[in-house]
Amino acid sequence: HEKSLVEAAWQALRAAWACDDSNNEQGAVRSRLRAAKLIDESRSANVEFSKQLGLDRCIEADALRRAGEHQRAKDLLQHMQVNFYIYINSD
């Protein structure tokens, strides 16, 4: 089930890109918001979205930004910045 969250997030992003290609702005926004929600759910379920640390939040923030959710994207990146600072300085 957990890995299906990651695959569903990627499917939602691919749907957003297809909507972009067909100038379907409403569909692109809906798909990006769905992708962001699924990425957040995968993180909450401790499912690895990527081996690259922080990539999930970067992709989620980009999806939010492109869906017009600028404040949510900014908040997510600021939270990520604090977490990375703690992670880097934890040694």
Q: What is the dotted CATH code of the domain comprising 2-88?
A: 1.20.58
Q: Which pLDDT value is given to residue 84?
A: 61
Ramachandran category for residue 53: left, alpha or beta (phi over 0 → left; psi -120 to 50 → alpha)? beta
Confidence grade of residue 54 (pLDDT, cut at 50, 70, 90): confident
Which residue is it, tokens 């930004």? 65
- Res 57 pLDDT > 80: yes
Confidence grade of residue 3 (pLDDT, cut at 50, 70, 90): confident
pTM of the model: 0.85
Query: Where do the domains of the chain lie?
Result: 2-88
Q: Which pLDDT value is given to residue 90?
A: 64
